[in-house]
Amino acid sequence: MTTDDAAQVWALMRDFVERHSPRHRLRQALGDGLAKGRSKVQVLLMLGDGPHSLSDIAEAQRIDKPYATAIVDQLEQLGLATRTSDPDDRRRKMVALTQAGRSAVVIARDIMDEPPAVLAGLSPAELTQLAAALGRLAEQRRPRPD
């Protein structure tokens, strides 16, 4: 396979992901305020696993602390998260989901976990081949920059 072949496959992959992105369904289900920014949904999903500090959110999402604070401010304004002092270190703020936030996480996970319908049109053999190829690519993850 040549570099041109790889570029063509990459273009097809990007096009497929873009055309079948759950963004539109997320926006419909959760509203523009939440679904408009990818980072907000990612932070919401992260908080679905339990409370986190603003520093933890920034580090895990690979964003700076002021941006993490802005995202949490927006989640609070939407009634999806609350911020409290850490009982072990009152200088540190912890962010947790509200009941509405927990409900939004369930909806978002359901939408994001549902595969595009077109995948059902592939044969079991094609799905096996695709899974094997994607598995090999996933094993070769690019290291995170420090």
Q: How many whole angstroms separate alpha carbon 135 and alpha carbon 146?
A: 25
Residues 19-40: tens digit of each pLDDT: 998 888 888 898 888 767 678 9
Grade residue 2 by pLDDT with cuts at 50, 70 and 90.
confident
> Is the pLDDT confidence value at 144 over 70?
no
pTM for the whole structure: 0.78
Report CA-CA distances (Å) from 91 to 59, 65, 70, 84, 94.
18, 15, 18, 10, 10
33 versus 74: the higher-pLDDT residue is 74
> Is the pLDDT confidence value at 146 over 80?
no
Q: What is the mean pLDDT of the chain?
A: 90
Q: What is the pLDDT at residue 126? A: 95
